[in-house]
């Protein structure tokens, strides 16, 4: 990791600078040799599972479908659903894997060389077309497989927890607030995110430094209602505040009373 990047982040943000000094050099590694199909298939396997369980399922997939190697998209599509279920994939994950394989063959999911020609947002828009693949998963691909330097996964629980710990906040920062605050880390937000993950580890070990200064989070302007929305809101409030008259007493059945007199 370039000393220039760490110097830039430390100068732009003293709190992050203190965290960088406490952690030491950045060890963010990129696995550029892995095809996006394999990276996304592994991500699907890891969803809602711990690493040991997910790796066991992937190992069974390699044996049953890939003949000892990670299966190709065509191998995965040719495998019976029962074989994929026997490996440990849920029905939803089987559907996601098969959709990933189909979209890889259709070149919706291309190889890394093609993805390198696209911007971060273009890669995200393209890959989230795959069933079961969301923005966070693609952001991990951008950081750890495509080596993009300026990715800030603001929805990541670990990043938000690390920010809360490192900056001495009482509450978890909302994603939009974290995104606005992180503008100062450009164009190296991937490195900043890596250090925020490490902040969680330092806190657990009791070695997290106190923030170098008090931080004020940006205040985001609330969206103003349109004229139609304001009018509807006023009408609802008026109906709620109108004085209510006395409840009318039910009228008696005069016909029955006349019948009794007769």
Residues taking part in catalysis: 156
Query: Could you tell me which residues come within 8 angstroms of residue 18 by beta carbon, excluding any fewer than 6 positions away?
Result: 209, 211, 212
d(CA 103, CA 106): 5
d(CA 64, CA 57): 11
- C-alpha to C-alpha distances, 200 to 194, 212, 229, 258, nearest whole angstrom: 11, 17, 43, 85
Which residue reads 């994939």 in tokens?
89
d(CA 31, CA 144): 6
d(CA 162, CA 182): 13
Which pair of tokens denotes residue 242? 């109108």
d(CA 158, CA 153): 10
Q: Helix, strand or coil for residue 187?
A: coil
Q: How many CB atoms lie within 10 A of CB 118?
A: 15
Helix (H) or strand (E) run with residue 103 in it = helix 91-105
d(CA 155, CA 59): 29
């Amino acid at each position: 990791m370039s000393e220039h990047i760490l110097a830039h982040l430390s100068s732009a943000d003293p709190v992050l600078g203190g965290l960088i000094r406490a952690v030491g050099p950045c060890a963010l590694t990129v696995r550029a040799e892995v095809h996006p199909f394999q990276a996304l298939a592994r991500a699907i396997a890891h969803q809602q599972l711990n690493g040991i369980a997910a790796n066991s399922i992937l190992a069974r997939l390699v044996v049953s479908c890939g003949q000892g190697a990670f299966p190709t998209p065509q191998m995965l599509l040719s495998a019976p659903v029962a074989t994929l279920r026997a490996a440990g994939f849920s029905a939803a994950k089987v559907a996601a894997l098969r959709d990933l394989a189909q979209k890889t063959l259709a070149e919706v999911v291309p190889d890394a060389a093609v993805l390198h020609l696209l911007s971060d947002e273009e890669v995200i828009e393209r890959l989230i077309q795959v069933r079961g693949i969301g923005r966070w998963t693609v952001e991990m691909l951008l950081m750890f497989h495509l080596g993009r330097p300026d990715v800030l996964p603001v929805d990541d629980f670990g990043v938000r927890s690390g920010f809360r710990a490192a900056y001495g906040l009482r509450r978890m920062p909302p994603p939009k607030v974290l995104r606005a605050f992180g503008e100062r880390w450009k164009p190296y937000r991937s490195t900043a995110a890596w250090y925020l993950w490490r902040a969680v580890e330092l806190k657990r070990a009791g070695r997290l430094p106190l923030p170098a200064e008090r931080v004020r989070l940006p205040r985001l302007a609330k969206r103003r209602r349109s004229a139609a929305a304001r009018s509807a809101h006023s009408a609802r409030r008026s109906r709620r505040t109108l004085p209510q008259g006395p409840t009318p007493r039910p009228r008696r059945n005069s016909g029955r009373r006349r019948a009794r007199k007769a």
